Amino acid sequence: MEGNKLQLADSVVVKPDVRDPDWDIVIGGWQGRIAEVDEEDNLILIDWDSLTLQQMPAETIVQSEEEGLDWTKMFLLLQDVEQTTPRDSEDDVQEAIDVLTSKHKWACLCEEGRRIQAVLDKAEDESEWAAYKAWQKHFQEVLEFPFKAEVLEWQERGPLREGDKVKVTSMDEIVDPQGILASLRHGRSEYVFPFCDLKVLDKSSFNYQPVKDYAIWFANR
């Protein structure tokens, strides 16, 4: 079928040797459904099907997230595609998008996002508890105790208040919904307190970035 006869919802496949206009990679063989036809500019918007999404290079998704681009669809010239038979359902597409979005959701944070994702990649499964355990193991590997920190968030109750300076002496248990707890001292008193509400005072310390990354993850999980 000629390109100018393609219609909304038609399934199309990208012709061989066509390149992604954003990342300059060969996308021949990618398939999807037409979501929009721009006859004036000779363009079509393609919603990628689930098989294409699942086979899409991870770096393409990460780069797109970092640049604020939508990796689930793409504008191409009409002559770059031809009609084909659909390989899946729209429900399959949404399921693939949900899985990949969850896997790469932190990419939009660039360097911080990559560090967070590296920790989460080591979790045993997709559960929040597994994520806590992954962060706990990460802390065991990288944090050096003791270190000085500041209470970061307003506290509804308890003796510690926002801005209090404390000395973190060790890592304690995981308690849902507070997450990983820290053992610390404030004055002559000892407490257990959520890591997510702490900020390492010394920005040059090896402890600074891991604790900050965890706090960002916790706030946006």
Residue 2 pLDDT exceeds 50: no
Domain architecture of the chain: domains with CATH = 3-104 (2.30.30.30), 125-220 (2.30.30.530)
- How confident is the model over 72-77, as a mean pLDDT? 96
What value does the mean pLDDT of the chain take? 91
Query: Quick one: the chain helix, strand, coil %, rounded to 5?
Result: 35, 30, 35
- What CA–CA distance (Å, rounded) separates 192 from 182? 5
Average pLDDT over residues 97-124: 84
pLDDT in tens, 6-51: 899 999 999 999 999 888 899 999 999 999 999 899 999 999 999 9
Q: Which tokens belong to 212? A: 């900050």
How many other CB atoms sit within 10 Å of the CB of residue 131?
A: 21
What does the pLDDT read at residue 109? Answer: 72
Angle between helices 128-142 and 208-220 (to 10 degrees): 170
Q: b/e string for 183-204 if b means 16 or more Cβ within 10 A?
A: bbebeeeeeebbbbbbebeeee
In whole angstroms, how large is the CA radius of gyration of the chain? 24
Q: What is the mean pLDDT of residues 94-113?
A: 83
